[in-house]
Chain A
Amino acid sequence: MKDISLHLMDIVQNSISAGADKIILRIWVEPKQDTYQENSAKISYNLCCEIIDNGRGMEPEFAKKAADPFKTTRKTRNIGMGLPLLKLSAEMAGGELILESELNKGTRIKAFFDVDSIDRIPLGDVASTVKMLVMANPDITWNIWFSSSGEEFELDTDEIKKELEDIPLNNNAVLDWIEKTVNDGIRKVFGGVLDEVR
């Protein structure tokens, strides 16, 4: 995968097929815990992404092996590359993939990357990912949250729905508004923090 927005698009499909009706997508930048010291001249940062859903979750045995490419629920063949590829992207950039799942409660996937690693893939077009996810799944409640030191952004499709009343979320003008709003959020939160955001 070329960028993080593609990974998100991919991993969220797992949440959708797990029957989730609420999906939280969080992206944030935080200081690495082992380098965070008051007087440290150089603090290094992690870029973290998290997908939290209320889908059907996984059996503990399955969850342990979910990042194994030969573990999958799909019927077409016995290989699933979504989580293994995200794990690879994270580990290449000095990060990790963390997976927590509880049967009938939901799943939480977190991947983090060293912001300054030369192998870290860029954020990519997260706004169009959000737009397409909402368009194809207007009945799911989407909560999008970004944060970096001092700046925060949140978008919740339930709040948008309240304002729109009878207009569906997948109306073209609404989708364009969502894309623009998310893009503004990314610029506000990650501008000057991530090199690829200007």
Chain B
Amino acid sequence: MKSVEELKALREKALKELSIRDNENKTRIVVGMATCGIAAGAKPVMNAFVEEVAKRNIQDVTVTMTGCVGICRLEPIADVIDSNGEKTTYVKLTPEKARRIVAEHIVNKKPVIEYTIGAAEK
């Protein structure tokens, strides 16, 4: 395998950035990544979440994936689970919507009501 040096350099860099932060109290973004989600475009949505979180250098958020939630017609779906356990379900996502959710919900702590499942099902 190539570039052991590159990895060593990465480690040094990561160590410096790894401030004393714990993994508790993390906000989680969970993207539905089953057949229905992927076919509806969940992969670019998840990519947008990851890129936006990285671009803003937000440390206390993890982006992860889950299986089918059972409401395939509303995919791509993502849950934002705040550090206090409160869950917001966003539906019919696009990469643009994902970036807005990071900016408004994650950064400014204001859920984007119009993208939530509650608004979609009215």
Contact = CB atoms under 8 A, between A and B. Distances in A.
Given A10-B34, A156-B1, 20 more contacts: A5-B43, A6-B39, A10-B33, A10-B35, A10-B38, A13-B33, A13-B65, A17-B67, A74-B68, A82-B34, A132-B65, A135-B63, A136-B65, A154-B1, A160-B7, A165-B11, A173-B10, A175-B50, A177-B6, A177-B10
Nearest to A129: B43
A92 to B, nearest CB: 16
Nearest to A128: B47
A172 B54 contact: yes
Interface in B1-48: 1-4, 6-8, 10-11, 13-15, 17-18, 33-36, 38-39, 43, 46-47
A31 interface: no
B38 A9 contact: yes
A167 interface: yes
Given A74-B67, A164-B11, A13 B34 contact: yes
The 8 nearest A-B residue pairs measured at CB: A76-B70, A163-B7, A136-B65, A136-B64, A167-B14, A82-B35, A81-B35, A172-B54
Interface residues of B, number: 33
Nearest to A86: B35
Given A163-B4, A167-B18, A173-B14, A76 B43 contact: no
B15 to A, nearest CB: 7
Interface string A1-36: 100011001100100010000000000000000000
Contact of B10 (A5, A164, A166): A164
Contacts of A80: 35
Nearest to B66: A136
A17 B70 CA distance: 16
Contacts of B64: 135-136
Nearest to A77: B70
Contacts of A194: none
A136 B10 CA distance: 20
Contacts of B46: 132
A121 interface: no
Contacts of B15: 166-167
